[in-house]
Every structure is written in C-alpha cells, then in structure tokens.
Structure 1
C-alpha cells in the first residue's frame, strides 16, 4: 500500500500518493500481466470462453513466457484472450527473454500451438506492430506451414513526457485546449459550490467512495452501459492492490461531475476509462480532471509516456503529440480444411477491398 497525504487549497484537493514502481514491470505491460488476464477471464466476458490455454514461448532464460489463448465456442478459431476491454495484447513474462530466439524454436512453438483446439485459424489482437515477439511468432508460424497476414485494429495516440515534465508538456498544448481548461476552472469556481479533485492510488479508505462516484458518473454519461458490469469494479480493486490505480474524481460540492480510471506501471500511464455527467459540458470538468491527472502522472509518478490507448477520437490530438497503430495477426493452417477455407475467404476479401 502506498502512503497518501492530502494537499488542499481553496478549490482543488488532490490525494497525493508516493510514486509506485512494480519490480519486474516493463513499460506498458499492465495488459500483459497475470493479474490483467485473471480479471478479464473472471469478469470480462458475457459468456465464458469454451477453453483457455497458456502457450509456452521459447525463452533464453529460466523465466517462463507464455501467451494466454482461448476458444470462444466449439466451432471457433483459436484466438488471443482479449476482447473490447483489451487495449493491448502480448505474452506474460519478460519479452527480453524471447529476443534473439531462433526460427527453429519459434517453429517448435507453432507446432505446439497446432495441437490446441481451433488452431486451424489463429487470431491475435490488438498487438504492438513493432514487438519482437510478434515478428518471431509470425516467422515460426510460416516455418510451420501457416499462412499469415496482419490487419489494422485501431489508431493509438500517445505522449512522450518532455524533460521539463508537465510544465513543458502544457506549454506545448494547443492554446484552445489550455484556455478551455482555464475557463472550466473559473466556471467551476463560480458554480455555487466548492469543487475539488480526489486521486486514489491504492486500497485507501477513500477507494469505495470514489469507485461509487465513478460508477455514478458513468451511468449519467453519454456512454452505453458496460456489457460486463462487474468488470470495472473488479479492475479498480485489482489495480489498487497492484499499485497501478489512479482513480480521479472531480466533485462539485457533494456531486461527482467527472471520473477517470488510469493505470500506471513502471513509466507508462494508460488512460483507460473516462466519463463526465451529460449536460454539464460547459464546466469542462472532464478536461480539468484530465489536466490534473496528467500533472500527477508526469510530476509525481514521473512516467515516461502517457497513452490514450484505443481510438482516433479528434480530442486526443489536442492532448497527445504522436500516433501509432495497433494491429492484429491472423494465421491459417492450409493442411486442414477449415484453415484452407478461412484463408480463401480472407485473402479473396482482401483482394476485393484493394480493387
């Protein structure tokens, strides 16, 4: 548990918590951790997968590295243990241990994969296109006789943190965004009640109240109800135990107006969920809260990168300076009829789209 103190001024209170770095955590691997996959499997599916396997990957060390795979139905393909809650997918374990592994070792992993149900067709997503493990697996699958292809998943906006921290970052933002946040703060000051921001980073006494506030804000926002209502409460509590949680709530008096869930691990802050109360847009509560969490991540947690995760929403360009793409990998086993038929449909459709 991290130690928290309270820092108050006239309008804003941020629960400041000591920066947390998990031993062995690599940049951005929240979505490649056993804790993430356990929570997703327990709470993140409307129907549980028919089967779930951990496929060992070749490694240059004694540390195990594996992929979590699943089959959603008896007739379904083999795919990554991921869905609409997943912003990145990859192996659990040190990715450094699988660098420079030979094609023959990757080919052996592909032969092991072929023994799993549904392996006539393999589909993994969303992936870091530049990941060394992905190139290795793709080469091993081809060596084992699979036909492979990559496809676009979504755009991903992110922000490397400048040397001067939040102050430098904020000076680099568009003037329209900076003025919007300033106006929002002034309007909150004039809104008839004191406003403040809480940021919870562990399983402190304030966690339950801020989690309830997040759920209340989400229910009053423009967003559709969660398909798996137990997922976010379980994720928040799991992230609090792991030290990843940054749960921010902006309050006007006793009413929560905006709430966000960030996941911070060893140098990377992931902006996972955000919502504000519909009808209160003029107060810019969401933008004011984002700025506060951004300052916290850059100046207190001292992250190297802030990631807006999935989607090319226009507003993300104001907050982030860089864009990359997340991709998917599909592989077909032409030695089996289901794989051959699926490959025919896939590559024929791709050819027609190009025309």
Structure 2
C-alpha cells in the first residue's frame, strides 16, 4: 500500500523513513495543512480516492472546520460526525459529558489566570494535576505540590492558558489503562486494550503492554454510547486503589501512541479503517500479547528500566519500537545519534556546573549594615547535645512542644531511638539554635562514618514515618534558622560529602526552608519520593463512619466480627502499664508467627511500648481466640491523632481475618472513646489501607551533595546522570509528537508527524 506522509520538520528521525513517501510542507497544524493537501492531490496518481489518517488534535480540529474544501478530493472516516468529534476535543466539556454518561471524572477547574489559583485548589484539593486545555502546548502535564508551582507554570507557559486543574487520582503509570476502537456509526469493528507501564516525562507514554480488560472496554463503550461516531477513538482511564475507573481523556479522529502497540499485537486498527473506507469485508482481529512497545526516542533507557522490574519482564514477548524496524534502519540510526549527542551535551553542562565554584566575593556594605549584621549574629548561638537526657529544661520544652503535633519529634521517641537503634561508629547529634538565649530551632542528625566518606542524615530510619526540623515559628526566619544550624553541622563535620533528610512532608514550610538552606551553603539538593500515606479525617461517630465505607467493607466487618465472637474470640485494648510485659510477650509471639520479617532492632518496639504506656499514648490491641493471642496492633494516640504503627496476625488463623476484626475494634475505640480528629496509616500504599482511609498524601525526602569533596562531586555527577537518563529523551524531542508505525504484517508505516494517505483502489488492497 503506497503511503504518503506530510511533514514540516525534516530534522525528525522518522522523516527519513524509506517506507513512506515524505512530502515536506510548511505547517501541519493549522489552515496551511488544507492548502498543502489541496496542492498535493494532483500529484497523487491513483485509481481511487486517497484516505486520510491524522496524528494530532490540531489536525483533527483543522479538518473538522475545513472539510468542505477537501471532501471532493479525500476520504475521512469521521467526516459525517465532524461536529461531535470536534466537541470531544474540548477538554473542559468532558466533565459534563462523563456526568451525562454515568462515568467517574475527577473534579476539574478551568484556570485562566493567577487570580484563579486559590479557587482551583479549593475545587480540586491539595493533590492536583495540571493539563493544557489545548493540544501541542509547552507542557503535557504537571504535578504541583504548592501554590508557587501554579504561579511558576503560568509564568513559563502563559501563552498556553487556560489550564485544566484536576484532582489527582493516586497511582503510578501502571494503573493507567486505555481501550482503542475503530467505530463505524457507533458499531465496534476493532478493539484493543492496553496498559501504560512508564511515562517520561509525565504524560508521555514510553513503555506500554497489551492488557485485555473487559471493565475498561465497557467504560469506553459507555463513554461513546449514543454519539454514532466513526473512525479511530480511544479512552484512557485510571484505576484507583479501590478498583474504581476514572476517565482521564479520550482521543478521537486520529491515531495515538497505541498504534505501534496495537499492530505489534495483531490488531491493525489503521488497516481496519482503510478496509472500512474501501467497503471491504471486516476482518476478525484477535488481540495478542506478543510484544511490549517502547518509545526509544523519549525514553532511550526504557528497555533497561524494564530489566530492573522483573514483575514486568518481557517473558516470551518481543520488543516493538517507534523507530527501529528491520526493513527501515535509517530512522533508528538518526534517533540514536541524536540521543547520544544530547546526552553528551547535557553531561558536559552537568560536570561544568558541578565543578564551577567561585570563591565568595566580598559584598561592600556600609558600616551601619555591617554593624547591624554583626550585632544580629551575636544574638544567635548554637549548642550541640548527644542525647535528650542532656537537654536543659528550656530545650526539653522545645522538643515536648514539637512532640504534641508529631510524637516522633518528641524527646521520648529520640531517646528510645538512640538507645536501641544508633550504634557506633554512627553518632546522634541535636543541634539547637538559641536566639537571645532562648531555644528557637533544633535539627536532630545522625552522622554516619562510611569507610571513605562521611554522611549526615536525619535522625531517622524505617521506624520513622515523618521527620521535620523543629522551628518554633516556621513562618518567620525559618530558612535563616536552618541555615545557621546547618552551618554548625557542616563546620563540625567538614568532610561530609552528602546529606539525606527523610521522610518529610513536601507541603511543609520546613521542607522548602531546609532545601533552600542547603543551597545557600553551596550544596546541591534534590527531591525524591519516599512513600504514600493513607489517612482518615474524622468528624463523625464510628457508626456514621462505617455507613460511609464500601458495602464490601461493612459486610466484611460485620461477618468477621460475628464469627470471631461466636468462636470464643475476645479483644483487649491496653492503654496503661498494667501487665504490660505479658502484652509485649504476646506481641512478640504473634509478630514471630506472622508474615513479617524479624525486627533488626528487637528492643526498639518493646521499649517504645513501655514509654507510650507511661505517657498515656498507648493503644495496644490484642485479639485472642479461646485465650490464645492471634493478632496484635500497636496504635499511638497523641493530641487528637491516632497513628497505626505496627500490625501483625498469626498466619495460622488467617481465615478469621483477625487483622480486619482488630482494626475495626481499635478504630471504633479511637473514634468514639478518644475522639481523635485523624487516623494515620503511616508508611506505605498497601491496597487494604484505602478501604479504611479517606485521603492520601505523599512523603518525600531531600538528598544533598557537597561538590567541594571528592566523593560529594562523584555522587553529584552520578545523581545528575541518573536523573538525566530519565529526562534526556524529553529534552531531545520537546516538539516531537507520536507518529505512525508499521507492524510485522499488513500495515501502514510512517514515523513522521504528518497525516498519512492511503490510495483507495478499485481492487482489493494487496501488500
């Protein structure tokens, strides 16, 4: 089948394919496309009428508006329903359409200017995703973590306003599914279901697989029901932790990234479209699972990434790529050349930036300013303690106040941590800043002595769910306070090559202030994701809470609790030191018989239980079946908040679902008896937590390197390289859009961005 492709950018690797006749044009995204197609038609010598295939939304919008000019010369599968196709391109109409079709669509706000930011956050919540309302914008998607991110994006991409602000549905790339169809007046002639595995950058799919999903298919049918559409369509959906599918966005009137994946897995949707336009008999296409698809141009290390994720391995499937085709090698060579060139340029800039540090330059200030600065410095002092037992009364009060909002910031937590976790050569330090003799900030640190370098960390490990520097007034001079504390730590440990602070709340003032303070000292700081955190906002009774949970959870709680009680089960919730040693013994017994790994620091949790009991913060639940302990959970209740810290049950009694039973009893206790306002499941995105909790947030960390040390510089280059590998494809192809591919069997091929043309013949199509 002869294929003609229109392309405006001859620098693209795909523009040099030999499997299509590439026609250079001035523009493929506006009215100039109409002129180019009209000028091309007399040069297309074929017995019938050429068929048009489009590759981006701007083309679809342009042809929908100007089809009358092209209709005598070309065929377009969706020409009879142009108005409906054009309407579905407007993303701000999708919410209304989904409501009408009975589909789930995230709360959305159309943002026109900075004055709309606060209202957008109110509508969509603190976790949102930003998308351009129009195609081919300067960005695809963005995930803001604070109001400043909205402002910066508007400053950078003001020409792309308005933006769609949408509530973010938690989940990684692998929770995004799509269903691609070819329709003929609403009838499905071909179907393909797939799943995304990786996106680089956010929103640009770079690894995808065939994945048959009937519920995704049914939701797609519901979305397009009643529209009587023809042509290629698809719907992208995201599955949340509860299994609910949310509409992300449709694609209509054109191909998408899935074209190569479909053809590689025996569903050639463009060929179906071509046959439909010719009036040929329908083909029976059976979706296979024989290939994974990679976009090597945007993500050159996608195949390497897959090797480190054995649960997503190729298995017996082969790899399908955007540019690499055994009968058309030149685009792949040009793509590899461009990637290597961009990688080398970025590496040179990275190394140059890392080693270029000018000596501090004197800042000529007048005598009055210099005197004021000197006087201010004299009002500050930094003290260092090795253990909370050394704290004077005023420093102890500072930590006690911090412990009111976060028990893991209190002196008892740190004392237990040092006693049972910290061992030489590592040493804990508490840097405390005084202003006019009063303690105003503190930075708990752990200095780890490695064989060849020194590392400074937050005084945390996997026992810690939330860390934060202590600042008495986080709104005023927070960065200055942390800068002074860091200065003292850096001076005491001059050879330190890296710092790591984790896990932290990325929305907190101390998170940004700590990162800024590190930069002020010439360290290179990076953010990184730690884990997801499920929690429950409580403003009701247990009975009302349970009414608002899923029917499955309500039924499970009632049935499991009834069976447990009927077979002689009892629940104890301990909050004091009474028979605490027996409870700890039972806790250890259950933990040993559970699926959990043995504790590397066996005295930490027992000592913590003793301390919590003495402070009145303990809620230790034990489920017993005929007097035998079979499940235990350690909860911490502190100032209107309950933390679910440790859970375990005896695997021999899993049929009773003792974890569900004990969670229900403890949750009822903290809601109705302790009257907490929040329940926090702490660390991890385990699916079962979403059944109990209402909200989700993330914990992030800060990693910083000192380029003035050899190992700091080496680690910095390694970090930059790692991040560079993930983003270099995006930097190399900012203006590149997904293009058509050829399959191993009968198919069309063009790795360009322009529309594809197939000549309509009076005879049956042949290869």
Superposition TM-score, scaled by structure 2 size: 0.41
CA distance in 2, matches of 1:26, 1:42: 18
C-alpha distance in 2 between matches for 1:96 and 1:137:
15
SS of the equivalent of 1:88 reads: coil
Change (3 A) 1:246 1:60: farther
In structure 2, the residue matched to 1:221 is 594
Task: Confirm or deny: 8 A CA contact 2:538 2:676 kept in the other structure.
Answer: yes
**1:190 to partner: Cα distance:** 3.4
- Structure 1, unpaired ranges of 5+: 1-21
Where do 1:1-355 residues align within 5 Å? 24=401, 28-45=405-422, 47-57=423-433, 62-74=438-450, 75-92=453-470, 95-101=471-477, 103-117=479-493, 119-162=496-539, 164-191=540-567, 194-203=568-577, 205-354=578-727, 355=729
The question of whether the paired residues in 2 share the 8 Å contact of 1:58 and 1:106 is answered with: no
1:72 is displaced (CA, Å) by 2.4
2:549, 2:634 → 1: CA distance? Answer: 22
Deviation at 1:57, TM superposition (A): 4.8
Rounded to whole Å, the distance in 2 between the matches of 1:158 and 1:61 is: 39
The change in CA–CA distance for 1:25 and 1:70 in structure 2 (over 3 A counts) is: closer
**Contact 1:156/1:323 (CA < 8 Å) preserved in 2?**
yes
Indicate how the Cα distance of structure 1 residues 283 and 133 shifts in structure 2: closer, same or farther if over 3 A, else same: same
Query: Which residues of structure 2 form unaligned runs of 5+?
Result: 1-398, 730-767
Describe the superposition over 1:43-78 as per-residue Cα deviations: whole angstroms up to 9, x where unpaired. Answer: 135x44522211235779934431211122243311
Instruction: Name the SS for the 2:599 alignment partner.
Output: coil
Q: Provide the C-alpha distance between the structure 1 equivalents of 2:550 and 2:411, rounded to a whole number of angstroms.
A: 39
CA distance in 1, matches of 2:697, 2:534: 6
Shift of 1:104: 4.2
Q: Which moved more, 1:147-156 or 1:105-114?
A: 105-114
Q: What secondary structure is seen at the aligned counterpart in 1 of 2:473?
A: helix
Q: Quote the residue 1:14 is aligned against.
A: none
**How far apart are 1:305 and its partner, in Å?**
0.6
Going from structure 1 to structure 2, the CA distance change for 1:27 and 1:60 (only over 3 Å counts) comes to farther
Match of 1:120, SS? strand
Distance in 2 of aligned mates of 1:230 and 1:160: 32
Q: Provide the C-alpha distance between the structure 1 equivalents of 2:684 and 2:405, rounded to a whole number of angstroms.
A: 17
Q: 2:535–2:681: 8 Å Cα contact kept in structure 1?
A: yes
| Alignment partners' CA distance in 2, 1:325 and 1:237 | 30
CA gap 1:170/1:26 in 2 versus in 1, 3 angstroms: farther
1:216-275, Cα deviation, whole Å (9 max, x unpaired): 111111111111111111111011112211100011121011100011111211100001
- Mapped partners of 1:102, 1:306: distance in 2: 29
Moved more, 254-263 or 126-135: 126-135
**Alignment RMSD:** 2.2
- For the residue of structure 1 that corresponds to 2:534, the secondary structure is strand
Distance 1:61 1:293, change over 3 A: farther
For residues 50 and 188 of structure 1, the distance between their equivalents in structure 2, rounded to whole angstroms, comes to 47
CA–CA separation in structure 2 for the residues paired with 1:213 and 1:26: 28
Provide closer, same or farther for how the CA distance between residues 197 and 49 of structure 1 changes in structure 2, counting only shifts above 3 A: farther
Structure 1: how far apart are the matches of 2:479 and 2:508? 16
Greater Cα offset, 344-353 or 313-322? 344-353
Distance 1:30 1:274 in 2: 18
Asked whether the 8 Å contact 1:60–1:98 carries over to 2, the reply is no
Bigger relative contact order (CA 8 A; separation at least 6) = 1
In the aligned structure 1, how far is the partner of 2:585 from the partner of 2:481? 49
Q: Judge conservation of contact 1:58–1:109 (CA < 8 Å) in 2.
A: no
Distance (whole Å) between structure 1 residues aligned to residue 437 and residue 475 of structure 2: 10
